[in-house]
Structures are given as C-alpha cells and as structure tokens.
C-alpha cells in the first residue's frame, strides 16, 4: 500500500480526535444498561414537566 501525503493541520487532527473521543463516550453510554435506564427516566420526567430535582419522585 502506497503511503499518501495528507495536508491536515494540527488543529484539524485535534478536532477529529476530540470527536472520536466523544463518539467513544457515547458508545460506552449506549452499551451501559443502567445509564440508558437513567437517561430514559430523565427524558420521561422532562416530558412530564419535571425539570428540577425536587420535582422528581424518589
């Protein structure tokens, strides 16, 4: 395989790496059942208008 030169700036590379880390974090959350349960509960509470911690039933 022939190596090709790419004209990518350090800033572009850093931006790509930040996006990659963000995607990795998202994948970890999606694979964690407990975190997904908490997210679903939070979304349901928001739909019900419960946006503050003391609005939410414990």
Q: What is the DSSP letter of 54?
A: G
User: Looking at residue 57, what is its pLDDT?
Assistant: 60
User: Looking at residue 53, what is its pLDDT?
Assistant: 64
Domain of residue 28: give its range: 10-55
Spatial distance between the Cα atoms of 17 and 10, rounded to a whole number of angstroms:
10
User: Looking at residue 24, what is its pLDDT?
Assistant: 96
Phi, psi of 30 (to 5 degrees): -65, -30
**Residue 27 within a domain:** yes
Instruction: Answer yes or no: are the C-beta atoms of 45 and 57 closer than 8 Å.
Output: no
User: Looking at residue 1, what is its pLDDT?
Assistant: 62
**Residue 4 within a domain:** no
User: Looking at residue 51, what is its pLDDT?
Assistant: 72
Give the SS3 label for residue 7: coil
1-58 residue pLDDT tens: 677 777 899 999 999 999 999 999 999 988 999 999 998 998 998 888 877 666 666 5
**Residue 29 within a domain:** yes
The residue to which tokens 């880390």 are assigned: 21
User: Looking at residue 48, what is its pLDDT?
Assistant: 86
**Residue 15 within a domain:** yes
Q: State the total domains in the chain.
A: 1
**Residue 1 within a domain:** no
**Residue 2 within a domain:** no
Distance from first CA to last CA of the chain, Å, rounded? 59
């Amino acid at each position: 395989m022939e190596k090709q030169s790419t004209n990518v700036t350090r800033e572009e590379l850093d931006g790509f790496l930040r996006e990659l880390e963000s995607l990795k974090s998202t994948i970890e959350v999606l694979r964690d059942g407990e975190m997904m349960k908490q997210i679903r509960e939070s979304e349901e509470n928001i739909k019900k208008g419960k946006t503050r911690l003391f609005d939410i039933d414990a």
